[in-house]
């Protein structure tokens, strides 16, 4: 991008301009790209269950989408199969809440000889509440612990925006709480 250009189109008030696109039509265009040999697998990312079902139930579906989000309960079922049939890029994130299960599968596939650690390209992501410099390493170490790995092959800043970590003291006035407790007690 050139300086001054925006990635997201905005109106005169600075609000992002959305477009109404039928994602099934987009999927059909992706299928044509695959048929033309321009890509091997085609996939979706950050789709919710309802959006994914819409594509899966599309009449004339030629290729089922590969999806990079696997729910916790399904991670133990689908990830071993994916590794057995040749998938080597495992995409994780603290926000997906499946790192422990993915890590368990990777360890088991290494232990049974299906793959070596260096065969797997495992990515994880830094979440919005951990963008303060002092939180980056602890967040990565937590992901590594969950994944039961010594390193990830790629660590990605998930979004370019930070969310404030809130704890109880951030939104409760301690003096007011003490006064309320005194009033309740006495």
Phi, psi of 43 (to 5 degrees): -145, 170
- The residues annotated with a catalytic role in the active site are 96
Secondary structure class of 123 (helix, strand, coil) = strand
Rounded Cα–Cα distance for residues 50 and 54 (Å)? 6
Does some domain include residue 59?
Answer: no
Q: Which residue has the higher pLDDT, 25 or 111?
A: 111
Residue 30 lies inside a defined structural domain of this protein: no
pLDDT of residue 99: 92
Total-model pTM = 0.61
More confident residue, 141 or 49: 141
pLDDT per position as a tens digit, 103-150: 999 999 999 999 999 999 998 888 888 888 899 999 999 999 999 999
Residue 129 counted as domain residue? yes
Model confidence band, residue 170 (pLDDT cutoffs 50, 70, 90): very low
Q: The CATH number of the domain where 94 resides is what?
A: 3.20.20.100
Residue 1: is its pLDDT beyond 60? no
Contacts within 8 Å (CB) and 24+ apart, 42-49: 42/66, 43/67, 43/68, 44/68, 45/69
* Confidence tier at 171 by pLDDT (50, 70, 90): very low
Inform me whether the pLDDT recorded for 70 exceeds 70: no
Per DSSP, the three-state class of 81 is helix
Q: Is residue 102 part of a domain?
A: yes
Whether the predicted pLDDT of 179 surpasses 70: no
Q: Are 43 and 49 in contact (CB under 8 A)?
A: no
Position 41 scores a pLDDT of 76
Residue 154 in any domain: the answer is yes
121 near 92, Cβ under 8 Å? no
Q: What is the span of the domain harbouring residue 135?
A: 67-183
* Residue 173 domain flag: yes
Q: How far apart are CA 160 and CA 126, in angstroms?
A: 10
pLDDT at 100 over 90: yes
Task: Give the number of domains in the chain.
Answer: 1
Residue 1's contacts (CB-CB under 8 Å, 6 or more residues apart) are 7
Q: What is the mean pLDDT of the chain?
A: 82
Q: Residue 2: pLDDT above 80?
A: no
């Amino acid at each position: 991008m050139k300086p001054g250009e925006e990635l997201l189109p905005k109106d005169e008030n600075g609000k992002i301009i959305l477009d109404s696109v039928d994602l099934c039509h987009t999927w059909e265009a992706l299928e044509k790209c695959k048929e033309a040999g321009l890509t091997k697998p085609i996939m979706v990312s950050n789709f919710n269950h309802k959006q994914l079902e819409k594509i899966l139930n599309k009449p004339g579906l030629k290729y089922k989408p590969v999806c990079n989000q696997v729910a916790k309960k399904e991670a133990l079922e689908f990830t071993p199969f994916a590794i057995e049939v040749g998938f080597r890029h495992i995409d994780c994130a603290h926000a997906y809440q499946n790192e422990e299960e993915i890590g368990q599968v990777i360890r088991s596939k290494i232990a049974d000889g299906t793959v070596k650690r260096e065969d797997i390209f495992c990515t994880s992501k830094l979440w919005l509440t951990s963008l303060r410099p002092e939180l980056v390493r602890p967040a990565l170490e937590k992901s590594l612990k969950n994944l039961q790995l010594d390193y990830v092959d790629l660590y990605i800043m998930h979004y370019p925006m930070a969310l404030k970590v809130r704890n109880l003291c951030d939104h409760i006035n301690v003096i007011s709480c003490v006064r309320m407790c005194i009033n309740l007690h006495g």
